[in-house]
Amino acid sequence: MKLLNTPYLNVKDVHLPMTTPAEIKQAANEYAAAGIKLTAAGTIYFTEDKNDDMRRKFEYCKIAGIPLIIAGPTPETLPRLERFAKEYDMKIAIHNHGPEDKYFPSPLDALRMVKNMDPRMGVCIDVGHATRAGTDAANAIHEVGPRLYDIHMKDLGVATSKESQVAVGDGTLPVEKIFAALVSIKYPGYVDLEYEINEDNPIPGMIKSFAYMRGVLAGMGYKA
């Protein structure tokens, strides 16, 4: 995180395990002591329409001081998820996972499900999965608008291939257009780099991705 010059982290439970309250709090404190701000948790899956299962996951985020859940629900669990979002006053961003996702392949599928729900219920656009689902990511940003609570950023060498991921700027995704759409809607949230390749040596590609995104923003008049 320090090498990448960013303090912002959408944490996964592999990095902050969903264990006991004391252990969760201790881990969250260690992130804070290192200067890292936990902006979201997930993807957290809500496939069981049960209070106990959902409460455990909401308590995890509450204890860690995380304000946003990147969620993988089912249509059946959405009403209960909405009730918990209200109870905990916590935002939910449904993540799209491309053609393999039978519920939310596109962010527009998520939008259709939440657009008449409580305002805490929103969308996380994964630009790579959206593209693979045949959705223009920049147009989706405009359509989702105020319900957009998070962005997962990546790039693909081949727009239809999940396995073709490359550093941001080296692929086919319209990165400049995506950032222009975010600026246009006055998006207040975070753009999270989701770099899922070169696991033995990811830092060079991650640095390149951040440099490219920051360069795009600088070209628009924004400074990192």
Q: What is the 3-state secondary structure (H, E, C) of 162-220?
A: HHHEECCCCCCCCHHHHHHHHHHCCCCCCEEECCCCCCCCCHHHHHHHHHHHHHHHHHC
Which residues does residue 38 pair with via DSSP β-bridges, in sequence order? 9
Cis-peptide, bond into residue 39, ω within 30° of zero? no
* Rounded-to-integer distance, Cα 200 and Cα 155, Å: 19
How much of the chain, in percent, has pLDDT values that exceed 90?
Answer: 99
At 223, the pLDDT band (50, 70, 90 cuts) reads: confident
Q: What is the mean pLDDT of residues 171-179?
A: 97
The H or E element containing residue 37 is: strand 37-46
Please say whether the dihedral angle defined by the alpha carbons of residues 103, 107, 112 and 117, taken in this order, is positive or negative: positive
pTM metric for this prediction: 0.94
In the structure, what pLDDT confidence band is assigned to residue 40 with cuts at 50, 70 and 90? very high
Is it the case that residue 224 has pLDDT exceeding 80?
Answer: no
What ranges in the chain are assigned the alpha helix state H? 21-33, 51-64, 78-88, 107-114, 127-132, 137-144, 175-184, 203-219
Name the token pair of 117. Answer: 């729900």
- Residue 212 token pair: 């490219």
pLDDT digits (tens, 9 = 90+) for 121-138: 999 999 999 999 999 999
CA distances to 68, 108, 130, 208 from 43, rounded to whole Å, are 11, 18, 16, 24
Give me the percent of the chain exceeding a pLDDT of 70: 100
The overall average pLDDT reported for the chain is: 96
Bridge partners of 125, per DSSP, are 151
What's the rounded Cα separation, in Å, for the pair 124 and 73?
12
Domains and CATH numbers, the chain: 8-217 (3.20.20.150)
**pLDDT reported for residue 222:** 85
Nearest to 107 by CA among 93, 92, 87, 91: 93
CB 105 within 8 A of CB 134: no
